[in-house]
Amino acid sequence: MDYKEKRKKIIEQKQNKELLEMDEAITGFLQSRKLKNLTENTHDFYFQTLSKFKEFLAENDVSRPIDVITEDVYEFIQRRLDIGNKASTVNKYIRGLRAFFNHLHSSGYLNENPMEPIDKLVEEKRINRTLSREQVVALLDAPDRGTIAGFRAYVFLLVLLDTGIRLEEALTFRVHDVYWKERVIQIYGKGRTERVVPFSETLALRLREYQEMRGEQEHDIFFVNAEGQPLRRRYVQEQISDYGKMANIKGVRVSCHSLRYTFARNYLMNGGDIVSLMSIMGHKTLEMVKLYAEMYQPDISMQHTKYSPVNSILND
């Protein structure tokens, strides 16, 4: 289809917006997102969100976006809550639907946007428990470092604990993203944002060892499996959980998230500031790192008592 034909079709759609079905609307929306160079994960998020909403609408005999009213969205939100979704999860649905209907409204397919009166749900702000020093040691002892797979898992755990990067970021950084002299990794985070994350000398040694063990591969992804292919997200999640069980860690759900929080807690306890922590962890605002500081305040207060200059000077 050439440009003129495509343009003609768009005009016809606007003139006949009452004919636009959900399937066609979703397809058009997803195509528009591709032009924004969104990640595959973000594309999948929109697809899953809109598919669930479409199924819900079908139960109520609604098949066209023009027939959707605000009450339909409220009912969908209530349905998600009724089946046990947390407020944070429901807010993701709201975010996806808002992007979808904003697109339809701005493109001329809707006279009114059903999402306009919809607000986000209030979320309970909390951070999961973190691993103690003893638990971290036990976790790192779990992989069999005598095997390539075990040593790779050990180094992967070190990366999460030493840098605080997200699982997806650890799975996708490449060999050329590691700058050995500066000891930083170029990370491509959410929404394809870029940042550099420092790492320790200890991790540098282990990364070097793994890279030598890894050898030349077809993929430039740093962490690869025995076939030289990128590691799968689910495989790594299950593996980390299994290592937590092997280490007999109790009271903490061992996951990529808990390791990220463990990094944040220890960074603050060891004298790190929230501004640099925000940069390292890839947060766009201070809100989340302020929450870290509030949650770990007792630990930070203990550190202050231990290292207080006044206590040190006057009690000598």
**Against a cut of 0.85, is the pTM above it?**
no
pLDDT, residue 260, reads 92
What is the band of 295 on the pLDDT scale with cuts at 50, 70, 90?
A: low
Whole-angstrom CA distances from 247 to 102, 128, 167 are 48, 19, 21
CATH topology of domain 133-301: hpI Integrase; Chain A (1.10.443)
pLDDT, residue 176, reads 95
| Number of DSSP helices (H) and strands (E) in the chain, helices first | 15, 3
Q: 225-282, pLDDT tens digit by residue?
A: 999 999 999 999 999 999 999 999 998 989 998 999 899 888 888 888 888 888 898 8
pLDDT, residue 2, reads 58
pLDDT, residue 7, reads 47
Q: What is the largest CA-CA distance in the chain?
A: 84
pLDDT average, residue stretch 29-58: 89
What are 223's two structure tokens? 């962490």
pLDDT exceeds cutoff 90 at 54? yes
CA gap 219, 174 in Å, rounded: 9
Angle at 236 between CA 235 and CA 241, to 5 degrees: 100
pLDDT exceeds cutoff 60 at 14? no
Residue ranges of the chain assigned to CATH 1.10.443.10: 133-301
pLDDT, residue 186, reads 95
pLDDT, residue 164, reads 93
pLDDT, residue 152, reads 97
CATH topology of domain 13-106: DNA polymerase; domain 1 (1.10.150)
Highest mean pLDDT among 31-40, 116-125, 209-218: 209-218
Residue ranges of the chain assigned to CATH 1.10.150.130: 13-106
pLDDT exceeds cutoff 50 at 122? yes
10 close to 99: Cβ distance less than 8 angstroms: no
pLDDT exceeds cutoff 90 at 217? no
**b/e map 196-226, b = 16+ CB within 10 Å:** ebebeeebeebbeebeeebeeeeeebbbbee
